[in-house]
Structure 1
Amino acid sequence: MRGSAVISVFRVPRDEVPREHLPRGARPITLAGSAFVAVAFVSYEPGSVLTYEELLVAVPVLDRGAVAVSVPQIWVDSEASRQGGRELWAIPKQLARFGAGSSIAAVAVKSLLPLPGRWRFAGPIAQHLDGRDVRARAVMSGRYRLAEAAWLVPAGGPLGYLTGRTPLVSVAMDDMRLTFGQGS
């Protein structure tokens, strides 16, 4: 997959972190009673298997004694992406419309400082959906810029636990490449 993204990391009290899609035995990694939750708006562009947009929440977890990432909440504007994510990787994708009037979230981004080079992150993804645990490996790379991101999150919406919170750090990502593969 190819595209661009805006990613912000929030500090959230441990009890407010969504857990319904964690595999058995996995738990969010916490520090002083808080977890760190990444929220990303991603645009998958031509050159990808599918072109679509998504909004997701990612949480670092301890799974089988190792650090992994779990995606407890995610919305896409593509039925093919929703179906594939659920069937292949147990990612709980739901359909949504993005843009003006979104009931989930909106983000305004101001780029600040480009980071040198191309950055690459790789690691396990741990998911639970429809009674099955799925583990995969993801590799993401791209060119990053530090950014200011202002998220507008309706208090009564599915991301209401982020209402009024300011990101600890935000980045904008260009020339993003993402691959998923089976793993354990």
Structure 2
Amino acid sequence: MQYPAEPWHMRGSLVISVFRVPRTLVPQAHLPSNARLISLAGNVFVAVAFVSYEPGSELTYEELLVATPVRDEGGVAVSVPQIWVDSEASRDGGREMWGIPKELARFGEGSSIAAVAVAGGVALPGRWTAGGWTAQRLDGRDVRTRMHMSGRVNLARTAWMFPVNGPLGYLTGRTPLVSCTMKDMRLTFGQRR
């Protein structure tokens, strides 16, 4: 499968919610050998995001991902234990270049992974930016990759549905601590260490 060379310059929108989850429930096989989940009182902050990459991106596709903060090489990074995309090129590129465990999925009504409804929204002023590193382990390789994101953020109310027997069943019944949407998102992902 062909996919674009890194870095990928992406644009689109997303909805993201942060949950508090007992550390023992959070997958850890994706962590590089020296990375550790950051926990507080036995809980990990788990972000779940649904992203739509739109025309103007290296690839156009949809993605559902789980991300956790980790301590890695003396700093803080983000690690992605679970992620699904509806693009073979995205799956192959993410796995081969960055060690991100992308799997193929279909999204929409009847999804066996997750569904989300978004309501309301309070616009935060200006354009927000975030950057840093992902720290991944896949197929015996440790990979660290630089990323940078910016966009217009709205606080929102979300209602997530995670089938109890699905891959995100450990989130079933949990209420997000905070949720937001990002419009006019710009993401640059690539540049490995």
Residue among 70, 79, 83 paired with 2:79: 70
Residue among 74, 98, 103 paired with 1:94: 103
Partner residue of 1:19?
28
Partner residue of 1:168?
177
Partner residue of 1:33?
42
CA–CA distance in 1 between the matches of 2:55 and 2:120?
23
In the alignment, structure 1 residue 44 sits paired with structure 2 residue 76: no
In the alignment, structure 1 residue 130 sits paired with structure 2 residue 139: yes
Structure 1 unpaired stretches of 5+ = none
Whichever residue aligns with residue 43 of structure 1, its letter is: S
State the Cα distance separating 1:20 from its structure 2 match: 1.1
CA–CA distance in 2 between the matches of 1:57 and 1:101?
20
Partner residue of 2:7?
none
TM-score of the two chains, using structure 2 as the length reference: 0.94
Partner residue of 1:121?
130
CA–CA distance in 2 between the matches of 1:108 and 1:45?
20
CA–CA distance in 2 between the matches of 1:146 and 1:56?
19
Whichever residue aligns with residue 107 of structure 2, its letter is: F
Partner residue of 2:69?
60
CA–CA distance in 2 between the matches of 1:92 and 1:154?
21
Residue among 134, 147, 150 paired with 2:156: 147
Q: How many residues align?
A: 184
State the Cα distance separating 1:181 from its structure 2 match: 2.3
CA–CA distance in 1 between the matches of 2:111 and 2:53?
19
Whichever residue aligns with residue 92 of structure 1, its letter is: P
Structure 1 runs of 4+ off > 6 angstroms?
none
Residue among 101, 112, 118 paired with 2:121: 112
Structure 2 unpaired stretches of 5+ = 1-9
Q: Secondary structure at the match of 1:70?
A: strand
Check conservation: 1:114, 1:146, Cα contact below 8 A.
yes
Whichever residue aligns with residue 17 of structure 1, its letter is: V
CA–CA distance in 1 between the matches of 2:130 and 2:120?
21
CA–CA distance in 1 between the matches of 2:77 and 2:56?
27
Whichever residue aligns with residue 174 of structure 1, its letter is: K
State the Cα distance separating 1:117 from its structure 2 match: 0.3
In the alignment, structure 1 residue 8 sits paired with structure 2 residue 21: no
State the Cα distance separating 1:183 from its structure 2 match: 3.7
Check conservation: 1:111, 1:172, Cα contact below 8 A.
no
CA–CA distance in 2 between the matches of 1:154 and 1:147?
22
Q: Secondary structure at the match of 2:167?
A: coil
State the Cα distance separating 1:111 from its structure 2 match: 2.9
Whichever residue aligns with residue 159 of structure 2, its letter is: A
Partner residue of 1:79?
88
Deviations 1:81-129 (A, max 9, x none): 0000001111000000000000000000013200000000000110010
